[in-house]
Amino acid sequence: MDADADTIKRHVADCAIDIVQLHGQESPEYLQSLRSVFSGSALLFIKAFSIAHDKDLRRTAAYEGIADYFLFDTKTPLPGGSGMKFDWSVLSAYTGRTPFLLSGGIGPDDAPRVRSFKHEKLAGIDLNSRFETAPAMKDADRLPRFLSQL
């Protein structure tokens, strides 16, 4: 969250990263400057937004044409992913051009909920802490089982 450009450059180089997710208070100008730093590369950028109400979606407009994807997550008092669910029906108000990833406490039992969510700009889902055996350790059995249900 809110990493400086040098830190991002180092991680992209050291870890052969293809996609950078910005989950902090990064401005559109900052994201544009990152795109310039990595111009000529195939690196993609996801800008995360905390969503509770349709008015929260207005912030995405400034990032249109700059971010490759948006990630819509649960709005909470603390920054970053919380693992808490939110009412995805609020996303029906999203009319932007940028495709988005669905997040917000998606767990192993949520396949029917994910399957029933429809939006023309839905590009994928973000699966995180509820699919881990320990922090940053994905459960190699739980993930494919979940994905086969979609």
CB atoms within 10 A of CB 42: 7
pLDDT of residue 135: 82
Q: What is the pLDDT of residues 74-120, one digit of tens each?
A: 887 666 555 678 889 999 999 999 999 999 889 999 999 999 999 99
Q: What is the CA radius of gyration of the chain?
A: 16
| 8 A C-beta contact, residue 1 and residue 79 | yes
Which range of residues forms the domain containing residue 129? 5-148
pLDDT of residue 15: 92
What pTM did the predictor assign? Answer: 0.90
Distance in angstroms between the alpha carbons of the first and the last residue of the chain: 30
Average per-residue pLDDT for the chain: 91
Supply the CATH number for residue 126's domain.
3.20.20.70
Total domains present in the chain: 1
Distance CA 70, CA 66 (A): 10
